[in-house]
Amino acid sequence: MTTDSPIARACALRKDYGKNESLVRAVDGVDLDIAQGETLAVMGPSGCGKSTLLHLLGGLDRPSGGELWLHGKRIDLMSERALAQVRHRDVGFVFQAFHLMDELTARENLELPMLLAGRSPRAARRRAADLLEQVGLADRSAHLPSALSGGQRQRVAVARALANEPLLILADEPTGNLDSAATLEILRLFKRLHAAGQTLVIVTHDERIAATADRLISMRDGVFVDETRLTGGTGGGLSALIGLEG
């Protein structure tokens, strides 16, 4: 782990919905530091505020209070235009329902965010090919999403999230629509990203996904109720997971 300043920081972060008696504190005073290269999982039941937190971190939504910093820049006070830049360049999103453009091929889905961020069509095309190679889908570049399996679509979505070399990948239930084989494919991909130093935040209600992170935060009713560091310290080794000996 690095001792550098965090890639993202939230201080007393709050997000309220509604007013007066119908006020909902979706995120209710959260402090969070995300270290460079860390994989962080945020877990909790639906409605606990974990997706709202992710949207705040990625500038998809604005906080009602508190401070939010990304790579040393305070983003909660930014103009709409500056915030849109952050969304395009500094963060990459992965959603449960993939959110690919149905009428664009896999390659075009990757090129689009790069073109929006100002990259030349040629450079975008080259990087799209590289990224598809990285996620093992070089031979699917001309396919429409409808011609891809769920796991393949999500790998395209992960490649798209990487398109502009973001500081932070934010994944909201990335395996929620996938069977176990496709889930493992995504976890393998995340493992490679982690090894390459990519910072990753995964929001999930699935313990099996959360357990793969370096650090796990449990959230309930808008607040953090537990934090567990999962790296270091091992159990009894793999064979201790089965009860055949003895």
* Chain residues in the site for other proteins (CB under 8 A): 180-181, 184, 187-188, 191, 206-208, 210-212, 216, 226, 228, 230, 233-235, 237-246
Smallest distance from other proteins to CB 211, Å: 4
Question: 76 or 173: whose CB is closer to other proteins?
Answer: 173
**CB-nearer residue toward other proteins: 128 or 213:** 213
Nearer to other proteins, 110 or 171 (CB): 171
Minimal distance in Å, beta carbon 39 to other proteins?
Answer: 11
Over 195-241, what HEC string results? HCCCEEEEEECCHHHHCCCCEEEEEECCEEEEEEECCCCCCCCHHHH
CA atoms within 13 A on the CB side of 209: 29
For residue 78, how many other CB atoms are within 10 A of its CB?
17
Of 5 and 231, CB closest to other proteins: 231
Measured at the CA of 56, the angle between CA 155 and CA 66, to 5 degrees, comes to 155
Q: What is the smallest separation between the CB atom of 191 and other proteins, expressed in angstroms?
A: 6
**Nearest approach, Cβ of residue 181 and other proteins (Å):** 6
